[in-house]
Amino acid sequence: MKRKLTIAVCCAVLLSVLPSCQLAKESIGSNETEDRLIGIFITTEHIDLFDFDSYLEDNIGSIQGGEFTIDGNTQEYQGRLYATMTSKSETSEETGLTMTTEEYTFEGIDGMLYFAPIVRAAEGHDNYTTVISDEAFSDGHTTLNHGDDESSITLEATVYVAPSGKMQTYYYNPVYQSADGSVYVVSGSGHSFYAEPYGEGAVYSQTIESSTTTREDGKDKTDSISIKASISVMCPPVKTVIIQMDQESAILSQSEYEPDEVPNVIELESDTDYFIVETHKQDETEIKISREIYDRGVEDITTFSARADGVCIRQWTQII
């Protein structure tokens, strides 16, 4: 890491960062036997957690002519932003049962979180690993393997983004969990690409991995995790059309929906043999239509809608 900055600029950056960040001076790797990589937090802005104040205090002698270069081993000055955990309860209208889930947020930072934290169970019960994902992640695949000698976690998912016609940057920030259960994020690297509408289907991926080996009762045990997050370009849907057909391929009904208003449940006509789902997408100059054909016996379908931030969200519809 090497940055050449004037003192005036650095101090201005420091003042703008400190109010919204909870920093810790500990090195990221200072307690590797306790802290474990658990996921990824994707942002469109760099999370600046560098503790410049401490670095300046320790390296004041390197200032020459009002400027100095940040160089060498700066790991101990890389800070952490801890997550705030809140409980959210929802009661089902159908069953009347209430389900409580835990939500993690990084105060003041917008991003997409995909991680597998260890949840501390009540006394008398074993702790367990759960997977939590922001709605922005689609096509998620999770593999959990637990054995006497080796345990591994694999997380893989894709974020679909609408092309903006300009350079887009996404930062892949690693998320860790300490032995006390607290979760924090550290600054990660970024990836920039020029997202054109004709580039639909282009995929940009990054994988972060970690593996640790501990010795218990004279035996070695390896714990590893691999997280692959992909950004894929998708032209934004502008309309979803569902066409129900009979055995003679005659149209029984045709329903049009705004992409974010496709019903959660669709009941087919009694004579429907199959149905077609049309997705109308806005390209640079025209509307492109893709079609998928489903048999009457299918239980659900998925469609997409675009959020205000350009992320395309996969949504599920039950077919009756």
CB 184 within 8 A of CB 83: yes
pLDDT, tens digit (0-9, with 9 covering 90-100), for 39-98:
999 999 998 876 666 656 666 656 555 555 555 555 666 778 898 888 777 777 777 777
Residues 89 and 215 in one domain: yes
* Same structural domain, 280 and 219: no
Longest dimension (CA), the chain: 85
Residue 77: left (phi > 0), alpha (psi -120 to 50), or beta? alpha
Same domain, yes or no, for 10 and 106? Answer: no
Q: Which domain holds residue 52?
A: 3-32+45-77
Per-residue model confidence (pLDDT) at position 53? 61
Please count the residues of the chain: 320
What pLDDT is attached to residue 214? 82
Query: Given 186, 208, 233, which residue is the final one in a domain?
Result: 233
* Whether residues 266 and 129 fall in one domain: no
Asked which of 233, 262, 281 is the last residue of a domain, the reply is: 233
Q: What is the pLDDT of residues 227-261, one digit of tens each?
A: 999 999 999 999 999 999 999 999 999 999 999 99
Do 220 and 261 belong together in one domain? no
Q: Answer whether residue 39 is part of any domain.
A: no
H helices present in the chain, as ranges: 7-17, 52-58
Is residue 284 assigned to a domain? Answer: yes
Structural domains in the chain (count): 3
Strand partners of residue 150: 222
Residue burial 279-317, b: 16+ Cβ < 10 Å; e: rest: bbbbeeeeeeeeeeebeeeeeebebbbbeeebbbbbbeb
First to last CA, the chain: 57
Instruction: Give the chain's residues under pLDDT 50.
Output: 1-33
Asked whether residue 37 is domain-assigned, the answer is no
85/211 same-domain check? yes
Would 40 be classed as within a structural domain? no
Same domain, 185 and 124: yes
The residue from 215, 233, 251 where one domain ends is 233
151, 278: one domain: no
Whether residue 67 is found in the same domain as residue 138: no
Specify whether 315 is located in the same domain as 181: no
Question: Do both 98 and 216 map to the same domain?
Answer: yes
Residues 188 and 202 in one domain: yes
